[in-house]
Copies of this chain bind each other. A is one copy, B any other.
Amino acid sequence: MQIQELEQSLVRSLLMQEGPGGSEGDILTWLEKRNREVVVRINRTPFKQLTNWAFDPATGNLAHASGKFFSIEGIRVLMDDGRPREWTQPIINQPEIGFLGILAKEIDGVLCFLLQAKIEPGNVNHVQLSPTLQATRSNYTQVHKGRKPQYLECFQNAKKEQVILDQLQSEQGARFLRKRNRNIILQIDEDVPVGEDFRWLTLGQIKALMNHDNVVNMDTRTVISGLRYHGHVSGLSLYDFNRFMELLDVGSFGRDLFVSERAISGFRTIDGILFWLSGLKARYELLVDRIPLKAVEDWQVTEDEIVRADRRFFRILGVEITIDNREVRSWCQPLVEPMQEGLCAFIIKKIAGIYHFLVQAKIECGNFDVVEMAPTVQCLTGRYKGPNAVPPPFLDYVLRASGAQIIFDTKQSEEGGRFFHEQNRNVLIEADDLFPEQVPENFMWLTLGQIKEFLRFNNYLNIQARSLIAALDYR
């Protein structure tokens, strides 16, 4: 398939609300039905009854008997982003790159994406829409001796002609130690069997479903965030671009997104943004050393939780899980539960008529490269409620935004395979006219075209930023 054809079929998919898998309502009904049909039991379990998991006597690390999957270890962090600080904390160590893979196929001239109604133990609502394949290396090398993940061969045998997108992207830098996954979308021409847990969806449908709380899982969101429409619209003259928007019946907000997607230069050039990032990465300091979980200060390991004495940030639990439609029907594992509600918000503003996203260079302890570009606001909102709390920049602005400024405002879940009932408020806010173009030195205005260019080269945008980008609806 030619690149140009792909993009046309991709842009059509982006604007299409009906697909071979039915309407938005049909998909929601199907998800509810799967939720009812599949038996799920999640029970909290003391660590000593967590089958196959044990605390290492020497280090105190909580690990799987196989030495695979992941482990709960400690880190010592020395961080300086102008405010030097040092602490120890538990962290999830999972030094494997897993697959987050989506199969795509042109159906009636529209590119459709094969998603799975998948249950993860930590999901608030059990079933969410996952990628076609979501598998850690331990998973697909079958350490747990379960069934082989479906569609694995397609991804293992990918040919270069099939690849729509292939990126290594980071996960939560505050919880994982430099974890990354391979985000990949492959286009296939042949028919594949589609089981009752799977459906073909258009991109427009996936985005529409993101207007509902906790329907599209984190892994699906990160994979589709990397899709670029730039190539299709950037070469067009203004006349042809406008005609194309008319033909596709794109609304005014969607048109503005396409305009921003076309803009590879904006408030700053790409080289200007790289200069900004290099300066911060060189000036900030992030030293992270793995330490035994035993050596972590301020945290205690009880019979059934690993938690701070003041119960802040997060805690680690043990759970026993029984799920009917997974490769393994029953297993035990630790899960991480957040102690507070989170907020991820992008403020966008038209500068010279082009939407720019206000990006924050954020340092987080598990980051692969000191800072990653994060949403304008990314925080635990509960932390800033006390009388002496100093809220992060723009938090107040986001919390006080008027209804007309709010483009979307939903709750989205973090990965239910590691996090227990973690959902963050995802908000997109349009700045009012008085909002300043001049912002603090760790903030920068990027066009959508620039964001997509950085996405392509890996590890520039964090998972929270990617989740918000994925939710942009171009209709």
Contacts and interface: CB of A to CB of B under 8 A. Distances in A.
Interface of A: 95-97, 99, 158, 160, 163, 165-168, 182, 184, 268, 270-272, 274-276, 278-279, 281-282, 285, 287, 289-290, 368-369, 456-458
Contact of A160 (B182, B184, B268, B285): B268
Contacts of A271: 163, 165-166, 456
B95 A278 contact: no
Contact of A279 (B166, B285, B290): B166
Nearest to A163: B275
A282 B181 CA distance: 8
A162 to B, nearest CB: 9
A389 to B, nearest CB: 32
Contacts of A369: 368
A166 B275 contact: yes
B167 A278 contact: yes
Given A97-B281, A281-B97, A287-B95, A167 B274 contact: yes
A168 B278 contact: yes
Given A168-B278, A270-B456, 7 more contacts: A95-B287, A96-B285, A163-B271, A166-B278, A167-B278, A182-B282, A184-B278
Nearest to A164: B271
Of listed A95, A99, A368, residue having the most chain B CB within 10 A = A95
Of listed A96, A268, A275, residue having the most chain B CB within 10 A = A275
Nearest to A269: B3
A160 B290 contact: no
A458 to B, nearest CB: 8
5 contacts: A160-B272, A166-B271, A166-B274, A270-B456, A457-B457
Contacts of A274: 166-167, 456-458
A309 B28 CA distance: 67
A290 B76 CA distance: 13
Contacts of A158: 275, 279
A97 B281 CA distance: 8
Nearest to A454: B457
A278 B182 contact: yes
A226 to B, nearest CB: 11
A289 B287 contact: no
A3 to B, nearest CB: 8
A272 to B, nearest CB: 5
A72 to B, nearest CB: 17
B275 A168 contact: no
A95 B285 CA distance: 9
A168 B268 contact: no
Contacts of A168: 278, 281-282
A276 B458 CA distance: 14
Of listed A160, A268, A278, residue having the most chain B CB within 10 A = A278
A376 B271 CA distance: 29
A457 B270 CA distance: 10
Nearest to A284: B97
